[in-house]
Amino acid sequence: MRIVAIVNAKLVLMRDDMGTTINPPRAPRRVVSLVPSLTESIAATERDVLIAATDWCTHPEDLDVIRIRGTKNPDTKKIVSLAPDIVVANAEENREIDVRRLRDAGIPVWVTAPATVPEALASLRRTLTVLDLPHPRWLDEAERVWSHPVPLAHTRAIVPIWRDPWMALGRDTFAGDLLARLGVRNALADSPSRYPHVDLASLPAYDLVVLPDEPYVFTPDDGPEAFPGRRCACVSGRHLTWYGPSLVEAKEVLLRQLSSGG
């Protein structure tokens, strides 16, 4: 899929995952990231272009950039004052109003929106192309790792993402697709909502509870007790929900954590 048209060596047409056309300068050198997984992806490819990121951008752990608050409440005025060439965002993690405010200030905003592993890999390729970054080996390795999904098993899982109130993965989510490629069916995949509120007493049939440590920090002492008699697996939220360099090791990490759930 070709997303870049070049006229007189200048980028003139780019469409993000939402179909929005933007026209950033060629070879952006001042990038702000509002998405932890994209921050990690850019830093792993060419760290020097990142000038700011959210407080939730925790990888790489030694990343030293300006912080602009969280994914849901970024300091848009501060971002504008930094005069970035482009801001990268995500349709799910970031608010449309913040994207609009930045665009109204004249800043190009590239929005990603993958709902499957293949879509995430393709989106990463497009994003790095828009940023005019070199093609990284980690992306090739991630594509290799996920080119052979695990055969779909009969395991049906509930995947809570929050409690008080309880919420879980529903239809059409990246994490749900990733789990399916690990042989785990989401018992709420037919839900009308992507992240439904759930009543633990009225759940469909399931035999596994997958408890990630983000966005809610489920732990062996906080979560499994709500599902007595059920097999529970505490897993890495970064490996389950982030798309970027973490995908290289996500299959191995998650398969180990899913199989060790007691």
User: Average pLDDT, stretch 59-68?
Assistant: 96
Alpha carbon distance 56, 52 (integer Å): 12
Q: What percent of the chain has pLDDT over 90?
A: 88
Q: Give the helix/strand (H/E) hosting 78.
A: helix 76-81
Domains of the chain by start residue, with CATH: 5-135 (3.40.50.1980), 156-260 (3.40.50.1980)
pLDDT at 261: 64
Report residue 93's pLDDT band, with 50, 70 and 90 as the boundaries: very high
pTM of the model: 0.90
Taking only the tens place, the pLDDT of each residue in 1-13 is 434 444 444 445 6
Report residue 227's pLDDT band, with 50, 70 and 90 as the boundaries: very high
Residue 209 pairs with which residues in a beta bridge? 158, 232
Contacts for 95 with CB less than 8 Å, ≥ 6 apart: 72
Taking only the tens place, the pLDDT of each residue in 198-212 is 999 999 999 999 999
Taking only the tens place, the pLDDT of each residue in 134-147 is 999 999 999 999 99
Q: What are phi and psi of 32, to 5 degrees?
A: -115, 135
Tokens for 217, please give them: 């920090």
- Whether the per-residue pLDDT at 171 is higher than 80: the answer is yes
Answer for the pair 208, 231: CB distance below 8 angstroms, yes or no: yes
Tokens for 42, please give them: 């850019």
